[in-house]
Structure 1
Amino acid sequence: MRISALVATAGLLFASATAANAAAFTNGDFEKGIDLPPGGFATVMGGDSSSIKGWTVIGNSVDYVDGYWQAGSGERSIDLNGMGAGGLSQTFDVVTGTEYMVRFLMSGNPDGADTQFLKASVNSGANSSIAVFAWPSSAANTRADMDWTEVFFTFTAGSSSATLTFESFFTSGFFGAAIDNVSVVAVPLPMALPLFGAGLAALGLVSRRRKQAA
């Protein structure tokens, strides 16, 4: 019974890590949503939770872009300033105590000439994580080449759910930071293998003790 318990514990460690990788996060590339004019975009107002599948628009509004400029992944992306500063929010399942990494592609609306800022944040139970990113006014991106750049930050789940939010920090004008290809994945647990090894070592110890007793 003791040996079985040790094996089960090691198995649970790996099962938990596997389950953590399957967080119910959806539509990170923004490809699923309302029909958009090819080569254009649609402005989606704050409070809308149906136009962009899985996401709720917050603040003033966002521009849901399809072909107006080069997407970072697929055909669609988001300008966090529609008619004013806006943002997106999504709540999804996580495993309490697990560390996650949020990755996404960032650029800026090339029609604007100012530095464009965004705030990315996660709230999960009593835990929160906030990161601020800037797209410089000196960037040479164009509609044909948005020069998408991958950025990331981490958070630790404080409950069984987490809310990820992107907000424009550029409070005036129509030209905000752009995002695409958002993903949320569990950070590999470096302690899993040592603990599994400790379990195997304990199995060996039990085996040796039994042989000595014999």
Structure 2
Amino acid sequence: MLVSRTSLTALTTAAILLAGAGTALASPADGSGRTSHPAASSTAAVSRFDDGSFETPKVNTNTFDEFAAGQSFGPWKVASGTVDLIGAGYWQAAEGDQSLDLNGMDAGAASQTFSTKPGARYTVTYSLAGNPELDQVPPVKTGKVLIDGQNVQDFSFDVTGKTKTNMGYVRRQVTFVATGPATTLTFASTTLHSATGPVVDDVTVERCKPDCCD
């Protein structure tokens, strides 16, 4: 399990699930060399989705930081539980240097609120994996994607055969329709009673062209 950790709110949005269920990733790290960090100041809703590869703040190489409910890291905020921000070198990232384990001491959730146009469709794409340390059960990590608190996609990821240098990331996608001027995207672990959970990275949010999401 990860030891050092740091941590959005939602406006009303109707979410329409247009993509199938995904597979999950992530699990918290286990070991030594963690350091505690104070909570970052809260961040207001941003004008656009940002830092989908979890590069802010920078975590010491080969370590991770734990963030608890109410704490912020970059434009993300921990909505519940605890999460681990994984530094460069700890394990393979899907993009950039860092990634996010949705389980810190136990299941957690991370959210980001960003501006949207009511009635417009948006596609969320992300890379999913799991903590490969098989001594940390269960091997199948599960979680869900929420839009303004509504579950729009469940995912799971089996870490059997995966390693820190070969995480086995898979790309997953879900589309929603915004009904308000701001939307909150949340990734939440449903892997309970475990310090190892699903891992997410390389998250993108794109507004669909009129004919792209039919």
Equivalent residue number for residue 11 of structure 1: none
Indicate the structure with greater helix content: 1
The answer (yes or no) to whether the contact 1:129–1:154 under 8 Å persists in 2 is: no
**Are 2:76 and 1:55 aligned?**
yes
**Are 2:112 and 1:90 aligned?**
yes
Percentage of matched positions with identical amino acids: 31
The answer (yes or no) to whether the contact 1:129–1:155 under 8 Å persists in 2 is: no
Alpha-carbon offset, residue 123 of structure 1: 2.1
**Are 2:197 and 1:173 aligned?**
no
Structure 2 residue identity aligned to 1:47: G
Which consecutive residues of structure 1, in runs of 5 or more, have no partner in the other structure? 1-22, 192-214
- Match of 2:118, SS state, is coil
Equivalent pairs, count: 162
Alpha-carbon offset, residue 185 of structure 1: 0.2
Deviates more, 1:35-44 or 1:66-75: 35-44
Q: Cα RMSD over matched residues? A: 1.7
Equivalent residue number for residue 37 of structure 1: 60
Deviations 1:70-115 (CA, angstroms, capped at 9, x unpaired): 0010110000000111010111001111111000000001113421
CA radius of gyration, larger in: 1
Which consecutive residues of structure 2, in runs of 5 or more, have no partner in the other structure? 1-46
Alpha-carbon offset, residue 58 of structure 1: 2.1
Aligned partners of 1:190 and 1:173: how far apart in 2? 42
Aligned partners of 1:100 and 1:185: how far apart in 2? 5
Deviates more, 1:139-148 or 1:174-183: 139-148
Q: Which has the higher contact order (CA 8 A, sep 6+)?
A: 2
Equivalent residue number for residue 122 of structure 1: 147
TM-score by length of 1: 0.72
Equivalent positions of 1:134-153 (< 5 A) are: 134-137=156-159, 139-153=160-174
Alpha-carbon offset, residue 132 of structure 1: 0.4
Aligned partners of 2:165 and 2:63: how far apart in 1? 13
